Structure 1
Amino acid sequence: MRNPTLLQCFHWYYPEGGKLWPELAERADGFNDIGINMVWLPPAYKGASGGYSVGYDSYDLFDLGEFDQKGSIPTKYGDKAQLLAAIDALKRNDIAVLLDVVVNHKMGADEKEAIRVQRVNADDRTQIDEEIIECEGWTRYTFPARAGQYSQFIWDFKCFSGIDHIENPDEDGIFKIVNDYTGEGWNDQVDDELGNFDYLMGENIDFRNHAVTEEIKYWARWVMEQTQCDGFRLDAVKHIPAWFYKEWIEHVQEVAPKPLFIVA
């Protein structure tokens, strides 16, 4: 497609109630008339706030509005069948579809774990206290309602490098998790704002864990097969190491049935 015109077809305050996917399906035949030939969908998977989630509090990438998780089966925008119907209607009208990729962090963990952390200076993330604190953190994701369908991967504290709340002792802040992958500090090849802007929010995904990067690649292939999307919009790229997205983009372009449009 030459010189596509891309529409962000949602905004932060779009009303909940599963209205967006049906609305897109209904309006799909009118986009070409106003010069739109590509749309950017909001995150289509379950967020930590369930049916109220805009989608950037990513909980389960494999729940496209199919499982009773976080108080809702549908996402804020509708259920999986409605999502696929909207994509089908758009593509029948020659409208390319981009999915939003939120893989910087996860939120809404299912279980606590005993973890070790170090306090971090919020204004200069390179300043990490030497003291190691024994505590508990919400870092284990088991997705009990999905029960292993599509993926059996369990996320635990070894999948994350940072967290913003600990318990026993109870404390808010920025904490670097101590595990097999975080000994050198934060990920490199990220924005240098605040010294190192690897950490943004929630449970910060650590791409130095090979099992994590392979799971995110596997998810990309799965979601392309499920939705037949035409590309991706990448969220929070300045917080994610550049080497990972280079590797990930090469992977998705290789396994996709056609060249993908990817923007950040």
Structure 2
Amino acid sequence: MKNPTLLQCFHWYYPTGGELWPEVEALAPSLNEIGINMVWLPPAYKGASGGYSVGYDTYDLFDLGEFDQKGSVATKYGDKAQLLAAINALKEHNIAVLLDVVVNHKMGADEKEALRVQRVDEQDRTQIDEEIIECEAWTRYTFPVRAGQYSQFVWDYKCFSGIDHIENPTEDGVFKIVNDYTGEGWNEQVDDELGNFDYLMGANIDFRNHAVTEEIKYWARWVMEQTGCDGFRLDAVKHIPAWFYKAWDRACSGGGPAAAVYCSGILVP
């Protein structure tokens, strides 16, 4: 596609109620008429806040508005059937589709686990306290309602490198999880803001765990097959190791065309 015109089809304050997907479906013909040939849709999967989620509090990537999880079947934007109808309408009018996605972290875990953590200086993440704290944290994702459909992968504390809340003792902050993958600290090849900006929020996904990266690549192929979308807009990229994007691109497109824009700090025109 030469010189595509991209339209962002949502905003942060879009109202709840599941009306975006039908709205996009209805708008597809007129978008084509005014010269739009690519659209950017919001996260289509279930967030931790269910039908109220904008989509950046990732819970279950495989729930596109199909399962009664987190208090609703539909996402904030509609159910899976409405999503597919919207994408089909766009494709019928020669409009490519990008889905927004957050693979940096998870929120809304199903179970707590006993684990060990270390306190981290929130203003300098390279400063990690030597004390090991025995505690509990919400780090186990089993997706009991989906019950293994589409993926049987269970996320546990070995899939994550950090969290922001522990219990027994109860404390908020930034904590590095102690497991088989975090012995050398945070992931490298991330933004150097705050010393190392691997950790952002929630349960921070650790890309050094090979099973985790394979699951994320599997999901990318799955969602492209399920929806017919043409690609993704990746959120929170500066918190994810740069090497992962080549692997992601190969998994999604076989090394085909890809574009990236990464901005850090304040941009002045």
Pairwise same-fold verdict (TM > 0.5): yes
The equivalent residue for 2:267 is none
The 5-angstrom pairing of residues 185-200 of structure 1 reads: 185-200=185-200
Report the Cα offset of residue 81 of structure 1: 0.1
> Is the Cα–Cα contact under 8 Å of residues 115 and 136 in structure 1 kept in the other structure?
yes
> Is the Cα–Cα contact under 8 Å of residues 234 and 263 in structure 1 kept in the other structure?
no
Which secondary structure state, in structure 2, belongs to the residue aligned with residue 31 of structure 1?
helix
Report the Cα offset of residue 261 of structure 1: 5.1
Any idea what the Cα deviations from partners look like across 1:198-240, whole Å, max 9, x if unmatched?
0000000000000000000110110011011111111111000
Equivalent position amino acid for 2:23 in 1: E
> Is the Cα–Cα contact under 8 Å of residues 231 and 260 in structure 1 kept in the other structure?
no
> Is the Cα–Cα contact under 8 Å of residues 21 and 78 in structure 1 kept in the other structure?
yes
Q: Percent identity?
A: 83
Report the Cα offset of residue 263 of structure 1: 4.3
> Is the Cα–Cα contact under 8 Å of residues 249 and 258 in structure 2 kept in the other structure?
no
Equivalent position amino acid for 1:59 in 2: Y
The equivalent residue for 1:248 is 248
- Measured in 2, the distance between the counterparts of 1:261 and 1:37 equals 17
The equivalent residue for 2:87 is 87
> Is the Cα–Cα contact under 8 Å of residues 232 and 261 in structure 1 kept in the other structure?
no
Report the Cα offset of residue 252 of structure 1: 1.1
- Measured in 2, the distance between the counterparts of 1:197 and 1:261 equals 24
> Is the Cα–Cα contact under 8 Å of residues 135 and 169 in structure 2 kept in the other structure?
yes
- Measured in 2, the distance between the counterparts of 1:151 and 1:230 equals 22
> Is the Cα–Cα contact under 8 Å of residues 106 and 204 in structure 2 kept in the other structure?
yes
Find out whether 1:159 has 2:159 as its counterpart.
Answer: yes
* Structure 1 segments unaligned to the other structure (5+ residues): none
The equivalent residue for 1:203 is 203
> Is the Cα–Cα contact under 8 Å of residues 230 and 260 in structure 1 kept in the other structure?
no
Equivalent position amino acid for 2:41 in 1: L
Q: 1:40 to 1:81 in 2, by over 3 A?
A: same
- Measured in 1, the distance between the counterparts of 2:226 and 2:257 equals 15
The equivalent residue for 2:7 is 7
Report the Cα offset of residue 260 of structure 1: 5.8
TM-score (norm 1): 0.97
Report the Cα offset of residue 251 of structure 1: 1.8
The equivalent residue for 2:25 is 25
Which secondary structure state, in structure 1, belongs to the residue aligned with residue 189 of structure 2?
coil
Which deviates more from structure 2 when the two are superposed, residues 72-81 or residues 227-236? 227-236
TM-score (norm 2): 0.95
- Measured in 1, the distance between the counterparts of 2:234 and 2:48 equals 19
Which secondary structure state, in structure 1, belongs to the residue aligned with residue 151 of structure 2?
coil
Which deviates more from structure 2 when the two are superposed, residues 40-49 or residues 225-234? 225-234
Which secondary structure state, in structure 1, belongs to the residue aligned with residue 254 of structure 2?
helix
> Is the Cα–Cα contact under 8 Å of residues 66 and 80 in structure 1 kept in the other structure?
yes
Number of paired residues? 261
The equivalent residue for 1:96 is 96
Q: 1:249 to 1:29 in 2, by over 3 A?
A: same
Which secondary structure state, in structure 1, belongs to the residue aligned with residue 168 of structure 2?
coil
Q: 1:262 to 1:107 in 2, by over 3 A?
A: farther
Equivalent position amino acid for 1:119 in 2: R
Equivalent position amino acid for 1:4 in 2: P
Find out whether 1:44 has 2:12 as its counterpart.
Answer: no
* Structure 2 segments unaligned to the other structure (5+ residues): 262-269
Report the Cα offset of residue 21 of structure 1: 0.1
- Measured in 1, the distance between the counterparts of 2:107 and 2:205 equals 10
**Deviation >4 Å, runs of 4+:** 259-264
The equivalent residue for 2:56 is 56
> Is the Cα–Cα contact under 8 Å of residues 190 and 242 in structure 1 kept in the other structure?
yes
> Is the Cα–Cα contact under 8 Å of residues 187 and 241 in structure 1 kept in the other structure?
yes
> Is the Cα–Cα contact under 8 Å of residues 8 and 39 in structure 2 kept in the other structure?
yes
The 5-angstrom pairing of residues 137-156 of structure 1 reads: 137-156=137-156
> Is the Cα–Cα contact under 8 Å of residues 46 and 58 in structure 2 kept in the other structure?
yes
The 5-angstrom pairing of residues 102-251 of structure 1 reads: 102-251=102-251
- Measured in 2, the distance between the counterparts of 1:17 and 1:36 equals 26
